[in-house]
Amino acid sequence: MLEVIILAAGQGSRMQSSLPKVLHTLAGQPLVAHVLQTARQIMADAIHVVVGHGAQAVKAAVAAPDVQCHLQAEQRGTGHAVAQAIGACDPNSTVLVLFGDVPLISKAVLTDVVAASASGVAMLSAYLEDPTGYGRVVRDQDGEFTAVVEEKDASPEQRRLQEINTGVLAANAEKLAAWLGRVDNHNAQSEYYLPDVLRLAREDGVPVTVACSDNDFNVQGVNTPQQLEALERRHQQVLADELMTGGVLIADRSRLDVRGRLQCGRDVSIDVNVIFEGDVALGDGVSIGANCMVRDAAIGAGAQILPFSHVEGAEVQAGAVIGPYARLRPGAVIGEQAKVGNFVEVKNARLGFAAKANHLAYLGDADIGEHSNVGAGTITCNYDGANKHRTTLGENVFVGSNSTLVAPVTIESGGFVAAGSTVTSDVAPDQLAVARGRQRNIDGWRRPTKSGDAD
């Protein structure tokens, strides 16, 4: 049996934030969610999460049928944290400890550490250019592991060591529990340090295997906003690189953010400063202009999202053109070849094949038929202050500029609404609706003049 214990109880005081550290996000997901995902990938039989600081919020973030949470009421160190969960593990299990603030730890390296623990205890180290803040791996003259020394306890000489403890450790549950029982807190931070079990294992003659990661970026911990930003940027570059390997044309890998899952077809191009969130699928030949935000959306083949558009919870079908400066809100379905132009907001509305709303409009709770044209300044008045109502346009309807369509209302196919109309009743097929004050032109009218003593 393989059981994973994820430590997520710490406050993360160096983040200077009221949010528990493991809930800060990387690529749009809480740090601890990344670790959880990796634990699932290595097929752990049980997953334990130790919560403490902000326990309710952390519990809610990790809640799942395969996760058990254990409360560490007082944060007395990483060893003390593991001790809160170890009792719930099967004594014969192999326990793998992961830190909730080391989000990008990779599946492959964990599999190696678990395998290495078969002969005793295994930990994962790494060489870092800048090891500041990490526990250092101390070795004897023969290069044999002796101990992990925390930076605060390290001598100036030890601080120069560049091999660090990543926090990943694997051992048999029963033995780990026994060593944890012997760990003391006689150190600079008065904490019960998890890596002290490695020293105790050695004292008991149990071999300690140190696996060394060849990737210095997957093992990095997040303790400060600077480290979070650095890791986010590195991670985004890796994601961009993967997309480019798949053929996506990216204008600048340092100006792309993928905060979720992005699937791309062939010949997709993405200009600068684009943010993708949630689940996004881009069909073949889609182009996304500069400065767009696209969240939980499906964009069909050949569709173009022009610069500065905001697309959320929407489906854009093949060949449609959105923007520049368009806003698609949840439930927007833009049909093939349709156009949604600048300063048009669409919510919970369908535009049929080749329908157009080219400028300055609000289309909420509406069905717009094929080839219909919605003029500039048109608004669906979908909300009466209490309830929402639908507006329905048939095929080939023309709505003149600056019209208000007061829902519920239907304009049948071929209907024509004169500019500036307030449409409150249904329009039959091919009818013209004019609903505005009639124009009067008055002859001989004089403009007001200024009164005499105006100075």
| Catalytic residue (choose from 80, 235, 310, 359) | 359
Q: Which of 100, 221, 323, 400 binds Ca ion (CB under 5 A)?
A: 221
Q: Which of the ranges 8-16, 115-123, 197-205, 360-368 carries the binding residues for ligand UD1, by CB under 6 A?
A: 8-16
Q: Which of the ranges 161-169, 244-252, 253-261, 371-379 carries the binding residues for ligand UD1, by CB under 6 A?
A: 161-169
Buried b (16+ CB within 10 A) or exposed e, 270-284: bbebbbbbeebbbbe
Q: What binding mask, one character per residue, do residues 42-71 give for ligand UD1 by CB under 6 A, x or -?
A: --------x-x-------------------
Interaction of residue 103 with ligand UD1, rule CB under 6 A: no
> In angstroms, rounded to a whole number, what is the distance separating the alpha carbons of residues 53 and 37?
21
Please check whether residue 365 is in contact with residue 349, taking contact to mean a CB–CB distance below 8 angstroms. Answer: yes
Interaction of residue 304 with ligand UD1, rule CB under 6 A: no
Q: Which is nearer to ligand UD1, 221 or 335 (CB)?
A: 221
Please state the closest distance from residue 10 (CB atom) to Ca ion, in A.
7
Which of 227-236's residues contact partners 24+ apart within 8 Å by CB, and which partners? 228/15, 228/24, 228/26, 231/26, 231/103, 231/104, 232/26, 232/27, 235/26, 235/27, 235/104, 236/27
HSE-CB at 277 with a 13 A cutoff on CA atoms is 14
The one-letter amino acid at 129: E
Interaction of residue 150 with Ca ion, rule CB under 5 A: no
Q: Tell me the Cα Rg of the chain.
A: 31
Considering only CA atoms, which of 34, 172, 57 is closest in space to residue 105?
Answer: 34
> In angstroms, rounded to a whole number, what is the distance separating the alpha carbons of residues 416 and 436?
14
Please state the closest distance from residue 101 (CB atom) to Ca ion, in A.
5
359 is catalytic: yes
Find the binding residues for ligand UD1 in span 184-213 (CB under 6 A): 193-195
DSSP state of 98: E
Strand blocks (E) in 175-332: 208-213, 249-250, 256-264, 269-270, 274-282, 287-288, 293-299, 304-305, 310-312, 315-316, 321-322, 327-328
Cα–Cα distance list, 352 to 11, 233, 336 (Å): 52, 40, 7
- Tally Cβ neighbours within 10 Å of residue 145: 21
Q: Which is nearer to Ca ion, 215 or 263 (CB)?
A: 215
Considering only CA atoms, which of 76, 6, 71, 86 is closest in space to residue 42?
Answer: 6
Q: What binding mask, one character per residue, do residues 94-123 give for Ca ion by CB under 5 A, x or -?
A: -------x----------------------
Please state the closest distance from residue 66 (CB atom) to Ca ion, in A.
25
Please state the closest distance from residue 61 (CB atom) to ligand UD1, in A.
13
Please state the closest distance from residue 185 (CB atom) to ligand UD1, in A.
11
Please state the closest distance from residue 40 (CB atom) to ligand UD1, in A.
18
Q: What binding mask, one character per residue, do residues 214-253 give for ligand UD1 by CB under 6 A, x or -?
A: -------x-x------------------------------
Per rule CB under 6 A, count of chain residues that contact ligand UD1? 31
Return the structure tokens found at 403.
Answer: 């019209």
Q: Which of 80, 235, 347, 356 binds ligand UD1 (CB under 6 A)?
A: 80
Cα–Cα distance list, 61 to 23, 47, 101 (Å): 8, 14, 14
Interaction of residue 102 with ligand UD1, rule CB under 6 A: yes
* Binding interface with Ca ion (CB under 5 A): 101, 221, 223
Which active-site residues does the annotation give? 359
* Binding interface with ligand UD1 (CB under 6 A): 7-10, 22, 50, 52, 72, 75-78, 80-81, 99-102, 134-135, 148, 150, 164-167, 193-195, 221, 223
